[in-house]
Amino acid sequence: MNPVSDDATQVRRHDQAVSGMFGRIAGWYDLCNRVLSLGIDRYWRRVLADNVRLGPTGRVLDLAAGTLDVSLAIRRRYPDARIPALDFCLPMLQRGARKLHGWDAAAILPVAADAKKLPLPDASVDCVTIAFGIRNITPRDEAFREMLRVLTPGGRACILEFGSGKERIWGGLYNFYLGRILPRIGRLFSGDNAAYGYLADTINAFPSALTLEKELTDAGFARAWHQKLTSGIVCLHVAEKAR
């Protein structure tokens, strides 16, 4: 038995399962985001967009673009930006494409693609964003290396992600919400028994902010830092490529 082949098979199965899960909840995804975050998700995406930096290409790559809310937030912040919006779940992109009208439709390009094998040339974008998607990518280091490859020198990766569920927030109240309440509300709205349980599990398993920073620098980024949002429920991670 070949361990490398076994690992690759497991990764393929994981990717297919995650893509299928998001495809099942695509129609409910935006509503669940608003309800489960009490509307704060809009603020988180605005902070992400504020940390985007444009450069010589005028392009921002939005990974795990889903229903395109991040792409649209970037467009509001940078009206002249061109945004390839990539996700490996086509139904999510199709749902998001309904939001694109006028100049947004011309500037945002939804494409089904794998973050570990980006269909872009080297040094082709100024910034990469990914919101609530890096948890779903296995192994993460392959995605980090691809981000680094497509960034221009001095380019920036902005990663918005839930903080680790291992950290107690609000005296453990958030952790209780994460483990007990969130899966039930998500199941009520989406009808999917697995999806929001999976969400809670991946947040609980996610590394600390400092560990993720080390993963980014180990992948080749020159420097990385983070900013806690909403008491650390969410973290914005920023990493920059050497000039």
Directed axis angle between helix 3-25 and helix 29-37, to 10°? 80
Is the predicted pLDDT of residue 95 greater than 80, yes or no?
Answer: yes
pLDDT band of residue 4 (cuts 50, 70, 90) is: low
CATH for 207: 3.40.50.150
pTM passes above 0.85:
yes
What integer is the mean pLDDT of 45-51?
Answer: 98
Give the mean pLDDT of 39-52.
96
CA distance 129 to 133: 10
Which pLDDT score is estimated for 184? 73
Alpha-carbon gap, residue 194 to 183, rounded angstroms: 8
Identify the domain containing residue 166 by its residue range.
Answer: 3-240
12 φψ region: left (φ > 0), alpha (ψ -120 to 50), beta (else)? alpha
Residue 213 pLDDT greater than 60, yes or no: yes
- What gap in Å lies between CA 63 and CA 89, rounded to an integer? 11
Cβ(52)–Cβ(74) under 8 Å? yes
Q: Which of 190, 202, 197 is nearest to 23 (CA)?
A: 190
Determine contact, residues 235/207, Cβ cutoff 8 Å.
no
> What is the reported pLDDT for 186?
64
Is residue 136 within 8 A of residue 165, CB to CB? The reply is no
What is the CB neighbour count within 10 angstroms for residue 27? 14
Q: 96-111: per-residue pLDDT in tens?
A: 999 999 999 999 999 9
**pLDDT tier, 216 (very low <50, low <70, confident <90, very high otherwise):** very high
How many domains, the chain?
1
Q: Does 129 score more than 60 pLDDT?
A: yes
Q: Which of 71-80, 158-167, 196-205, 212-221 has the lowest mean pLDDT?
A: 196-205
For 145-191, how does the pLDDT look when each residue is reduced to its tens digit (9 = 90+)?
A: 999 999 999 999 999 998 876 777 777 777 777 777 767 766 666 66
pLDDT one-digit tens code per residue, 137-148: 999 999 999 999
